[in-house]
Structures are given as structure tokens and as C-alpha cells.
Structure 1
Amino acid sequence: MAFGLNQVRWTETICAATAIVAALLPFAVRAEGIDTEHIFGFMIGSDVGTVGEREFQSVTTGRFAKDSGTYRAMSQQLEAEFVPMQDFRVEVGTTFMAHDIAGVPGLDDRRQLSWQGLSVDLRYRFLDRETAPFGMTLAMETHADRVDETTAAVVRSYGTEFTAAFDREVIPNVAVAALNLSYEPEWTRVPATGSAERDATVGAALGLMVQVRPGVLLGGEARYFRKYDGIGLDAFAGQALFIGPTAYFQLSESSRLTAAWGIQAWGQRPGSNATLDLVNFERHQARLVFGVNF
């Protein structure tokens, strides 16, 4: 009964958000195009910035709720972005993690704050929306971690997320739609036991953002993931669909803020009749991104 009530409330929230966006759309103000580099929360756009541009970015991500017990995982990523040449962006970052885990099946109880690791994100734009029917960028983000983002255990983990990002202004200077396709293989070794694991996650995401006034965009993202044991997609482990709103605010000429939230609306795991996969994924995900040019 509780699950049904939550589903009704979620449906009502989606309808209300859609109605608000629809009501605001006629009053949207035309501007000099929409830069998609930072307007999405969990997704990425095809824009990569202009030559010589430098930015500092803070990305706070929260993941909450598993099958039972208490599960909270917060990551704080600090990044520096550079555009050394036309259509090419470089980003280097470091991440800290905080975990609060208690009574979750299959996970040790932990409450800790730790330095997780380092990352490098490279993006190259192959198609520019101004000269092509749509924008297209390929991104490769490599990370090396010493703490597992899910279990908080000490590990030696290496992975790379490959993303193909496409976007197009469906209403010029007012609304932009984006598609992300991703593949992320990961190698993990646990020094305490000597065990090693290989897994991979593939995903597809759709996003739509509407400029309701200059520097303010509202919209949402729908993200679908499939988890596999083995980097060659050897054995299916689970799948999940996340849906939620996104908001972007241009705070000043040099600063910006993006906020996004997603709820697992549907999921499935082999051998389970549950309509959510709360073993491989969380029930809720949230993200807050603050950036400034320097």
C-alpha cells in the first residue's frame, strides 16, 4: 500500500512539474543560444567551452537508500577544467567520500570520511550544432580509487567511462534535448582478501532543458543503466531507470549552479521479483554542481 502511495505521489510530482514548464514556456525569453556544457546534472552536453577558458568546479553527489537498513553515500569532487585547443577540453579532479552504512544486507556497517581518488576527463567535440544538424562530443573519464564508492571498503580500483553525447536545440534559443550513451568497465581488487572483480555498466540517458528566462533553465533527465559482471558484458547483474528534475542557474557572468535529483522509478535483478534493483543501485540520487571561471 505504501509503495502504491509513493508511486501516486511521484506521478503527481511529474505532472505538476510538466504543467509548470508548459506554463512557463510561452514566456521563455530568447537569448544568444544555449551553452550545453554545464546545464545538465548527471548528463553532459556536447559543448566544451572556448579556447583558453579555465574553470573550477565543485560536484557534490549523494546516493541514498538500499534494500533495508541505512545507506548514505556522499562524494565531493573538486575539478579544474581547461580548454587548450579548439573543441578539446581537459578536466582533472580529486574526490572525497563520506559513508553512513548500517544494517544493509551484504555490506559491512561503516561510518567514515575518506579520500577516494583521482580522475581525468577528456572531451573532444566532433560536431558543432551551429554548423551541423546536432552536436556530438566523445568523452573519456578515467579514475583511480582507493575506496569503493558503494561499500566504502579499501580497494584498488581503476575504471574508464566512455560517453557519446548528442544534443540539439529543439526550439532555437529556448529548449535543448540531449542523448548520452555510455560504457564503463571497471577493475577492482580488495587488498585485505586478495580478491579481484571486473564489471561494466552501460547506460542511455535522455534530457530536456527549457530556458524560462535568461540564465535559468528547468527540465529533467531519464537515465537507464544495465550492470554486468565482467567487462565484456558477460553476465547480467541488474538494471535500473532513474527519472528526475534538473535546474540550472547562471548566478553571474563567471559563476553557475546546477541541481539535479533522480529516483529509481523501475529496476530489476536476476532471481528477484522486486520492481527495483536496490543491490546494484540506490533508490535516490542527487547532485549539486557549482562552477566558476577564473
Structure 2
Amino acid sequence: MLTRAKTFQMAVVLIAALLPACADAEGFDTEHIFAFMIGADVGTLGEREFQTETTGRFGRSGGTYRAVGQELELEFVPFRNFRIEVGSTFASHFISGVPGIDDQRRLSWQGGSIDFRYRFLDRESGPFGLTFATELHGHRVDETTAESVRSFGTEFRLAFDRELVPDRIIAAFNLLYEPEWTRVVGSGLMEKDSTAGAALGVLAQVRPGFLLGGEARYLRKYEGIGLEELAGQALFVGPTAYFQLSKASRLTASWSIQAWGRPAGSTASLDLVNFDRHQARLVFGVNF
């Protein structure tokens, strides 16, 4: 874990040193500066972007667990304050000796998604920014177990953001709820579960085009979609860095570690049954 943290820090310093000196220092565009969260900005009218999002999840309650998802996304802003994103995801799993999960070594197309965001409040003219986002996704491979499934889920998210120090420090807060329906191929049984949580992120502009800070997420996993039977809970914390590579391209990098967690009915200090030990995300985007 220490080696991975040092590698992340070295990468941040190296990329920051290579940033162009002409990057725009005025204002924030919070649409993409966070990794596991979202800001309230949705882009400008007519804007088009291509984005790649690589997410790695590592460590479960024993054995070896590695899962990497690669999502390719197209984003459009057809109307003021309204954004549409269409995505397709490929997944790679290596699972060996993890209790409760069959061994897997698999690379496959996981599924697709569509995301809608509408900004109700602009922080430039209001007390804070406020955006409602909903994502619909369908999966043919379970993101945790790598089993062949027919899965459908929806994520609802409220995003707030506000500049704590003008042009220097920005904070964002998210509330989320994600119900999901899953049927394993070959089985007539439909499983229902849901995740709810809150997240807080703060970034400071270290130099023009380079933001550094962190994100903290508290997540609760439930059996069923009614938030009634708690399965487990976890707190993730870690650093986030944003790099404006050019006027048209950007890079966001984040690493989160489960700092605390507990499965339902247990006294453990981590929940490695319902959640991962480590999560990492790298997002690259370009306007066209």
C-alpha cells in the first residue's frame, strides 16, 4: 500500500511539473475535476467531449481480487444547463481464492450507460451550484463477481459545489442512491440491492491548471431497493489531482482506500465483503 501511495505522489509531481505555464487560472469548471464525485457544472452550450475513464478495484476478504473497468464516453450539451453522456464499458477481472466468489479470469464487454444532468443553480449567480444527475446502465457481466448476468441499475445523484476561496479552493458535496436489479444467466432468481451514500471533496489550485485535494465517501449497501436491510457500510478517503493538459484536454487521477467499514452483524473494522479495499480512477478527456 505504501509503495502504491508513493507511486501516486510521484506521478502527480511529474505531471504537475510538465503542465503548460499558459493554463487559465481564473475560475473553476467543476464538471470533471473530481474523480469519484461530480461537480455542479455541466459544460457550455454546444460543447462536445470524448472521455475515457479507467477504474481499478483491488482487495476483498481474502485471496486475490483485481477488477479494472474501462469506459469510453461521449458527452454533449444540447441545451443550456443540460448534459447528455453515452458510454460503453469493458471489464477485466482476476479473482482467485476470494470467499463467496468463484475464481475468474475474464476480459469482456460489460455493458452500456446513458447519463443525464441538469443544473438548477449556478454558483456564479446563486449561493452554490446544484445539479441533479441520473444514470441508466445495463450490464451483461457483474462488476463484482464477473458472472454472466442481466443487470439493470439507476443512479440518482444530487451535486452541490461552492468556492470556499474565490479562484483558489472549491468544495463539492454529493448525495447518491443507486438501486439495481440483477439476474444471473441460467437462473430465474432476480436479486435486488441498492447503495446509498454521501461524498465530500475539496480541491485547491496549487498552480494554474493544477488542482490537488481529496475526496471522502461514506457508502451503505442494502439488500433490496428499499434501504431497509443493511448489508454493510464503508468509508473511503484518498487524494485527487486534476491537470489541465491543454485548452482542449484534461486528466483527473484519484486513489481511495477503505479507511473504515463494517458488514452487517460483524464487529470488523473493514467491510471487505460488500466493498473493495482500494479503488483508483484515471479520467482523460478532450473537447472536439
Q: TM-score, normalised by structure 1?
A: 0.90
Residue 255 (structure 2) pairs with residue 264 (structure 1): no
Distance in 1 between residues matched to 2:225 and 2:266, nearest whole Å: 23
Which of residues 188, 192, 195 in structure 2 aligns to 1:194?
188
- Report the count of equivalent residues: 273
Whichever residue aligns with residue 77 of structure 1, its letter is E
Distance in 1 between residues matched to 2:64 and 2:24, nearest whole Å: 46
Residue 162 (structure 2) pairs with residue 168 (structure 1): yes
Shift of 1:191: 2.0
- Say if 2:214 and 2:240, in contact at 8 Å, map to a contact too: yes
Residue 113 (structure 2) pairs with residue 119 (structure 1): yes
| Residues 177-222 of structure 1, C-alpha deviations (whole Å, 9 max, x = no match) | 0000000000001122222100110010000000011110000000
- Say if 2:251 and 2:285, in contact at 8 Å, map to a contact too: yes
- Structure 1 partner of 2:46: 52
Whichever residue aligns with residue 228 of structure 2, its letter is D
Structure 1 segments of 4 or more deviating over 3 A?
none
Distance in 1 between residues matched to 2:133 and 2:247, nearest whole Å: 26
Shift of 1:237: 0.2
- Structure 2 partner of 1:23: none
Residue 75 (structure 2) pairs with residue 81 (structure 1): yes
Relative to 1, partners in 2 of residues 1:94 and 1:30: Cα closer, same or farther, differing over 3 Å?
closer
Unaligned 5+ segments in structure 2 are 14-22
Distance in 2 between residues matched to 1:30 and 1:96, nearest whole Å: 34
- Structure 2 partner of 1:216: 210
% identical aligned pairs = 68
- Say if 1:30 and 1:173, in contact at 8 Å, map to a contact too: no
Residue 66 (structure 2) pairs with residue 72 (structure 1): yes
Distance in 2 between residues matched to 1:281 and 1:134, nearest whole Å: 32
Which of residues 265, 269, 277 in structure 2 aligns to 1:275?
269
- Structure 2 partner of 1:94: 88
Whichever residue aligns with residue 50 of structure 1, its letter is T
Distance in 2 between residues matched to 1:33 and 1:108, nearest whole Å: 49
Shift of 1:272: 1.8
Residue 134 (structure 2) pairs with residue 140 (structure 1): yes
**3-state SS of the aligned residue for 2:273?**
coil
Residue 219 (structure 2) pairs with residue 225 (structure 1): yes
Whichever residue aligns with residue 115 of structure 1, its letter is W
Shift of 1:234: 2.3
Shift of 1:270: 1.6
Distance in 1 between residues matched to 2:90 and 2:208, nearest whole Å: 34
Distance in 1 between residues matched to 2:231 and 2:269, nearest whole Å: 14
Q: TM-score, normalised by structure 2?
A: 0.92
Unaligned 5+ segments in structure 1 are 1-5, 21-28
| Residues 82-121 of structure 1, C-alpha deviations (whole Å, 9 max, x = no match) | 0001000000000000000000000000001000001000
Shift of 1:32: 1.9
Residue 172 (structure 2) pairs with residue 178 (structure 1): yes
- Structure 1 partner of 2:101: 107
Distance in 2 between residues matched to 1:70 and 1:260, nearest whole Å: 22
- Structure 2 partner of 1:252: 246
Distance in 2 between residues matched to 1:123 and 1:177, nearest whole Å: 19
Residue 56 (structure 2) pairs with residue 62 (structure 1): yes
Distance in 2 between residues matched to 1:276 and 1:212, nearest whole Å: 33
